[in-house]
Amino acid sequence: MTQADTARLPRWLLGTGVIAVAMGVMNLTTYGFTIVAARLLGPSEYGALAALMGLLMVSSVASLGLQATGARRVSSAPDDWEHIESGVLAASYRFAVGLGLVALVGTPVVVATLRLDSWAPAVLLALAAVPLTVMGGQAGILQGERRWLGLAGIYIAMGLGRLGFGVGALLIRPETVAAMLGVALGAVVPTVVGWYALRHPDRLSLRRARPPRHPDESAPWARGGVLREVGHSSHMLLAFFALSSADVVIARAVLDDRQSGLYAGGLILAKAVLFLPQFVVVVAFPTMSAGVRRRVHLAALLVVLGIGLSATFGAWLFSDLAIVFIGGQAYVDLEPLLWAFAGVGTLLAMIQLMTYSVLARQHRRAVVVLWAGLVGLLAVVPFTDSVPFLLGCVAVVESAVLVVLLVSSLGKHLR
């Protein structure tokens, strides 16, 4: 499909519609892998896999930082997309290699903290982080150019890759090592799709048609350098994902194997609610980067809140079906708490939107709020003795973080 063909498609399909569908497919397939893993591994071993996936999510901050940087810079200065693309891609390769090496060096810590039986899952975790980081730079360029079909292809490939390789590996050998091998192999698929999308014939002809330009150092995207901005963006996203993923690691480290596995099962629902409205963030971020009024941010927050509240009510009303969703009768003890897990997912989704709002405006001091929330969550570790107690503490801390971000960001920094 050429750019001329896509131009005739309805605007909603090229924007919110296509990204919502693509991210829906990605989330369904990703959680399909999670559900299969929870069933095949059981609560005890699934707790280890969930903790590893939580660490993979934290390590993905470099990928998301690259995506945010690429999208912000391209949308701020679309005429200089060639120089921005080369800079973002070069940074993505450097970050990918560096992150992979750091993760490999840290494997002994991961093995000891998560009480793993071997080093293999931790090594595979490090390997999976490399292609996922490269993918971030690719996705950021496509997002900034509002090339929704190419970006949608990356999202779909990410979900299908994890589902196909992950489930296939688990069916052959239902162990944590096999699951992580499938995750690592699946991470390569969206990178290949991104490589193809960035070398589309339309882009190559456009590249040949344009005379070479030297970057304008006064342009918004040129100030400070790509690496520096990726560092700041990654720092902000690291704080968010550390806050959103710390509880599963705490559960694995403090609670017994069954309790930590049950908590990880409940987080399947929480993460589903977190990612359900993510298309709002993806589509709105380029516009946020160009500067918008307070009502636009509030409208996006209301959409996220509405989706989250609907999911929370659904988890309460259809708790028996929700149990099937997270893994079946092995997790039936969680049924009275499922609505609370969905509520936590709603809080995280709203915090995520505020985090990207901060990134769009490059208001870097707000990262302190997220780190303070993480410190508050870690403070309850000595007192954590059950799933309900940990879940309640998480809800209180995340509510406080959201209120502070709303008051400081919407009240002071948006006009």
Residue 377: closest CA among 277, 253, 262, 274: 253
What gap in Å lies between CA 223 and CA 39, rounded to an integer? Answer: 50
Nearest-5° Cα angle at 410, 405 to 415: 155
pTM: 0.72
Quote the pLDDT of residue 386: 85
Give the residue numbers spanning the domain of 105. 3-413
Contact 168, 182 (CB under 8 A): yes
Cβ proximity of 272 and 31 under 8 Å: yes
- Is 263 within 8 Å of 387 (Cβ atoms)? yes
For the chain, 415 residues long, give each residue's pLDDT as a single digit of tens.
444 444 444 444 455 678 888 888 898 898 789 888 888 887 778 878 888 888 888 788 888 888 888 888 877 665 666 677 778 888 889 889 999 999 999 889 888 888 888 889 999 999 999 999 999 999 988 888 878 888 999 999 999 999 999 999 999 998 889 999 999 999 999 999 999 998 864 544 444 334 444 444 434 444 446 677 777 777 888 888 889 888 888 888 888 778 888 888 888 889 889 888 888 888 777 767 655 556 667 778 888 999 999 999 998 888 888 887 776 777 888 888 888 999 999 999 999 988 888 877 767 677 889 999 999 988 887 787 888 888 899 999 999 999 998 887 765 544 4
Name residues whose C-beta falls within 8 Å of residue 244's C-beta, 6 or more positions apart in sequence.
57, 274, 348, 351, 352
| Tally of structural domains, the chain | 1
Question: Among 354, 117, 359, 129, which residue's Cα sits nearest to residue 231?
Answer: 359
Burial class (CB in 10 A: 0-12, 13-18, 19+), 356: buried
Distances, alpha carbon 79 to alpha carbons 4, 195, 220, 223, in Å: 20, 21, 12, 16
Place of tokens 């693309």: 85
> What is the rounded distance in angstroms from the CA atom of residue 283 to the CA atom of residue 143?
8
Contacts 24+ apart (CB under 8 A), 384-387: 384/250, 384/251, 384/254, 384/255, 385/254, 385/255, 386/255, 386/259, 387/251, 387/255, 387/259, 387/262, 387/263, 387/266, 387/334, 387/337
Q: How far apart are CA 1 and CA 382, in angstroms?
A: 57
Is the distance from CB of 350 to CB of 298 less than 8 angstroms?
no
Three-state SS sequence of the chain: CCHHHHHCCCHHHHHHHHHHHHHHHHHHHHHHHHHHHHHHHHHHHHHHHHHHHHHHHHHCHHHHHHHHHHHHHHHHCHHHHHHHHHHHHHHHHHHHHHHHHHHHHCHHHHHHHHCCCCCHHHHHHHHHHHHHHHHHHHHHHHHHCCCHHHHHHHHHHHHHHHHHHHHHHHHHCCCHHHHHHHHHHHCHHHHHHHHHHCCCHHHHHHHHHCCCCCCCCCCHHHCCCHHHHHHHHHHHHHHHHHHHHHHHHHHHHHCCHHHHHHHHHHHHHHHHHHHCCHHHHHHHHHHHHHCCCHHHHHHHHHHHHHHHHHHHHHHHHCHHHHHHHHCCHHHHHHHHHHHHHHHHHHHHHHHHHHHHHHHHHCCHHHHHHHHHHHHHHHCCHHHCCCHHHHHHHHHHHHHHHHHHHHHHHHHHHCC
